[in-house]
Amino acid sequence: MLFIWNGSVLQSIIPQLMFVALVDIVAVTTHGSIFGEKVPLNATPFTLVGVALTIFLAFRNNASYSRYWEARQLWGEVMTAGRVLASQVSAYVPADAHFERRGFIHKLIAFTYVMKHQLRGTEPFEDIARYVPPQRSAALLQTHFRPVSLLTDLRGALAERHTSGAISSQQLMMLDNQINHLTAAVTGCERIASTPIPYPYGVLLHRTVYAYCLLLPFGLVDSIGVATPIISLFVAYTLIALEAIASEVAEPFGKLPNSLPLDALTRNFERSLLEQCGEAMPAELTVGPGYQLT
């Protein structure tokens, strides 16, 4: 853990730490002076400010992790409801010339990929083409809310089965309930993606952290001398890294190392449903430290 690189925010904050180290060296070589004037600081104000800064960092990290954990729970609900729906369709909905279970399950797989791409703001052309017929795929790409459009397709297919008498009203209600869960999960993820943590919180925390780290060596140099860079850099690493982690975790659907591993989640869901259909499965994506795919 002391030497781990992948999954650590250290690689993204090295420039900031190098700048802090440079300020530390200046503080030691000038004995705490700037332009010949001694900076009248000691450790006392940093103790008081440090307490407030720690509380504020804890609030920011808790708020960020709450978003992250809620997003993971919503994706867990997608995995559960999707697998249950696929299993129920395979068991209760008879297939005929008007309904193909394989096509229904393929659209369900496509739904998770489309949902992932919508949350990331990327284009789902390739993933849609693998599981949705060309004509429907072209029409789907013209819509704005693609996951909802696919769920409407699935609901319509089940409604037709009910109209034809292939499934009972009770079975339709049972199947429709799983689609409701999927719709609720999509809405919850959209809410997280479209409602970031208020910007002023991030600005205030960022400014406070950097002001604290840049002034700290001038408050320590008289008491600990040449050890100032070591202690100051360690404190800076802790505070800046906590801020960086909070920023990454607050955006759970992104592609940052500590965002949710959506590629692995969707691939795992795809494999489980293809196995139900008796089809060949793509290779599994495993997740290492910092959600690095292997």
Instruction: Read off the pLDDT of residues 1-31 as tens digits, 9 standing for 90 and up.
Output: 677 777 678 888 999 999 999 999 999 998 8
Conformation bin of residue 11: beta by default, left when phi > 0, alpha when psi is -120 to 50: alpha
State mean pLDDT over 126-155.
Answer: 90
Q: Is 18 a member of any domain?
A: no
Q: Which residue has the tokens 């995995």?
A: 79
How sure is the predictor about 40, in pLDDT bands with cuts at 50, 70 and 90? Answer: confident
Range of the domain at 193: 80-197+264-278
Neighbouring-strand partners of residue 99: 96
Q: Which of 274, 284, 268, 272 is nearest to 130 (CA)?
A: 274
- Hey, is 287 helix, strand or coil? strand
Q: Is 140 a member of any domain?
A: yes
Sort strands 33-34 and 37-38 into parallel, antiparallel or unpaired.
antiparallel
In the predicted model, is pLDDT for residue 279 greater than 80?
yes
Q: Is 84 a member of any domain?
A: yes
Q: Is 21 a member of any domain?
A: no
Neighbouring-strand partners of residue 96: 99
Query: What is the rounded average pLDDT for all residues in the chain?
Result: 89
Q: Is 137 a member of any domain?
A: yes
Q: Is 136 a member of any domain?
A: yes
CA gap 278, 245 in Å, rounded: 42
In the chain, the number of structural domains is 1
Q: Which of 20-34, 87-101, 228-242 has the lowest mean pLDDT?
A: 87-101
Q: Is 99 a member of any domain?
A: yes
Q: Is 80 exposed, middle or buried (0-12, 13-18, 19+ CB in 10 A)?
A: middle
pLDDT for the residue 289? 57
Q: Is 147 a member of any domain?
A: yes
- Residue 182 tokens read as 């999927």
In the predicted model, is pLDDT for residue 69 greater than 90?
yes
CB 247 within 8 A of CB 68: no
